[in-house]
Structure 1
Amino acid sequence: MNVIRMLSPYLLGFIFILSVIWPMVSVEPVVQTFLYGEDGSVVDTTPYPPSSLYWLGTDREGNDLFYMLVTGAKWTMLFAFVITLLRIFLAILMGVWLKNWFVSPYGEGLLQAFTFIPQSLIAIIWMTPFLLYEVRSAPPFTMAESVFLQIMVMTAVGVPATAKMIGETVRHIHSFEFMDSARVLGGSSFHQARRHILPHLFPRLIVLSGRQLVQVLTLMLHLAIFHIFIGGTTITSGQEHDQFNVYASLTKEWAGLIGSRYGELLLEPYIVFFPVMAYSLLILLTNMTFKHLEKSSQKV
């Protein structure tokens, strides 16, 4: 287990690099709605099960699952890491400079809303009017605008609770004797934060970062169930007269592959199984990576 924990950062890096390089060295398989035999007769139709032609099979539209998983990995990881870094950065600023505000009656009352109301519910309410649309109308936002909105909302819903935890830790650090010495010697607030608070806060930040990253990945999955995919959602008609809408992720990120195809669970389970296994592996490697970083920081 220790060996796997040590290798987990390298495995995450390998998955990310492979996802970046793969579209450059491989051509996306052409969608084939029907497979024909040598005599020209139709021998199979989508979705195709895993085979030597399609390693992980295809979805109902004929898209290769292996290609989508590999190319979508970078967007899944990049988006989750960016959101986590923004949450931690803003939470540090708020926790260090507004530490006393979090224990005030007004601050505690406001933060209770973010404690008891699920983050996914807040994010769904804020994003649904801007990202989902009628099948015959155009998307309200471009891909860049959708990503910007999602980053802002998913960062905002996680910052208050994280900042409160950091603020409590900062208040505890301020109770130490060396902080009294720093204040008596005339150290500015910036000096105290840089030389005394942040070094003692660093091990705690590693733990918080790991939790936040898993939390962001979970939030992405919750949003995907409601067809809110990273980078935007394309909505097309599955049949004539729009009886059934088909939702797809523009970036092919893993949460979107799960959220757009969970209805296949009882029909073609492999279409959902492989994205779920990939997503579970990502969360497992993330947990192991931050456990390794936490132990490494304790040895320093």
Structure 2
Amino acid sequence: MKSSRVLPAYLLALIFLVSVIWPFVKEEPVPKPFLYDENGAVVDTTPYPPSSLYWLGTDREGRDLYYLLVIGAKWTMLFAFIVTAFRIILATFLGVWLKNWFTSLWVEGFLQAFTFVPQSLIAIIWLAPFLLYELRSAPSLTQPQSIFLQLFVLTIVGVPTTAKMVGETVRTIHAYDFMDSARVLGGSSYHRSRRHVFPHLLPRLIILSGRQLVQVLTLLLHLAIFHIFIGGTVITSGQEHDQFNVYSSSTYEWAGLIGSRYGELLLEPNIVLFPVMAYSFLILLVNKVVNDLEKSNKNP
């Protein structure tokens, strides 16, 4: 594989490593609601624009956007990778074990519904009662519990259609002539799966994993627009008497940075612009890796 093809994968690994290491290298800057000159006069207030002091500016609370993006990258990437891995593992097991089950008219009709009903809608219905709460009450779940629930829901909503694709691929492999030869020679079901099915299935699973990863990243962004963030949603009052609520992410994951501040698009675009650019770049890298894998699979 050429170096240009592995560059996106290296960049993804670099972003993740920097995000993990950065909090140990530099502490989070203390938010400053006002900036003063040498005479003690107020010269600016939050949100601050990009400058030598704040490379990407700050949000309205005075938090450094560059720092938030760096430390939030690992949560975005790790969560999406884990959900994708769980989806592929469960879908592979179901697709291999129940490959013929997916051909029944009842199952076909049931899975057809997942084609038209967005996964984000199903996830919102399941997650909102647990992760969104009234301002004056405490969240019903801790952060680890919220993450576990989100992992479970986001995995389950994607398994049926993914398992169907795996099952179709497995049935195609079983239709090859060498599978008939293996059966005639007395190969057991386990032997045929281990020696013939999985070697042909694995390259396709790798490509499918990349596509699922993009789908999960898109799903996280959809959920964030409805203020459902990785690790739970922190709800605080933005005005006296709780007239307005402020929703924020406890982990600073990138979809949460976008979903919690998309209302600033016409007021302070920088607050939303840089997280959107970072998220778009992440999806671009993943898509590039998937496309390179597809080309390598076609032209080994």
Decide: shared fold, TM above 0.5.
Answer: yes
**In 2: Cα distance, 1:187 partner to 1:145 partner:** 45
Query: So what's the TM-score if we normalise by structure 2?
Result: 0.97
Question: What do the CA deviations read for 1:188-222 (whole angstroms, capped 9, x no partner)?
Answer: 22221111111111222122111100000000000
Deviation at 1:289, TM superposition (A): 1.4
**In 2: Cα distance, 1:19 partner to 1:152 partner:** 25
Counterpart position of 2:292:
292
Q: Is the Cα contact below 8 Å between 1:233 and 1:250 reproduced in 2? A: yes
Please say if 1:50 is aligned against 2:21.
no
Question: What do the CA deviations read for 1:231-267 (whole angstroms, capped 9, x no partner)?
Answer: 1110000010111111110110000000000000000
Deviation at 1:35, TM superposition (A): 1.0
SS in 1 for 2:217: helix
Counterpart position of 1:241:
241
Please say if 1:226 is aligned against 2:235.
no
Q: Is the Cα contact below 8 Å between 1:84 and 1:216 reproduced in 2? A: yes
Counterpart position of 1:165:
165
Gaps of 5+ in 1: none
Deviation at 1:14, TM superposition (A): 0.6
* Paired AA for residue 77 in structure 2: M
Q: Is the Cα contact below 8 Å between 1:203 and 1:298 reproduced in 2? A: no
**In 1: Cα distance, 2:37 partner to 2:244 partner:** 31
Distance 1:214 1:92, change over 3 A: same
Q: What percent of counterpart residues are identical?
A: 73
SS in 2 for 1:248: strand
Counterpart position of 1:187:
187
**In 1: Cα distance, 2:3 partner to 2:284 partner:** 14
Please say if 1:175 is aligned against 2:175.
yes
Deviation at 1:291, TM superposition (A): 2.2
Counterpart position of 1:76:
76
Once the two structures are superposed, the pairs formed by residues 1-300 of structure 1 within 5 Å of their partners are 4-300=4-300
**In 2: Cα distance, 1:212 partner to 1:148 partner:** 19
**In 1: Cα distance, 2:4 partner to 2:131 partner:** 39
CA RMSD of aligned residues (A): 1.2
**In 1: Cα distance, 2:237 partner to 2:190 partner:** 57
**In 2: Cα distance, 1:197 partner to 1:190 partner:** 10
* Paired AA for residue 225 in structure 1: I
Bigger drift between 176-185 and 270-279 goes to: 176-185
Deviation at 1:80, TM superposition (A): 0.6
Query: So what's the TM-score if we normalise by structure 1?
Result: 0.97
Aligned length in residues:
299
* Paired AA for residue 87 in structure 1: R
Question: What do the CA deviations read for 1:242-298 (whole angstroms, capped 9, x no partner)?
Answer: 111111101100000000000000000010000000000000111111222333344
Question: What do the CA deviations read for 1:10-56 (whole angstroms, capped 9, x no partner)?
Answer: 01111000001110000110111111122222111110110011000
Q: Is the Cα contact below 8 Å between 1:95 and 1:166 reproduced in 2? A: yes
Bigger drift between 279-288 and 188-197 goes to: 188-197
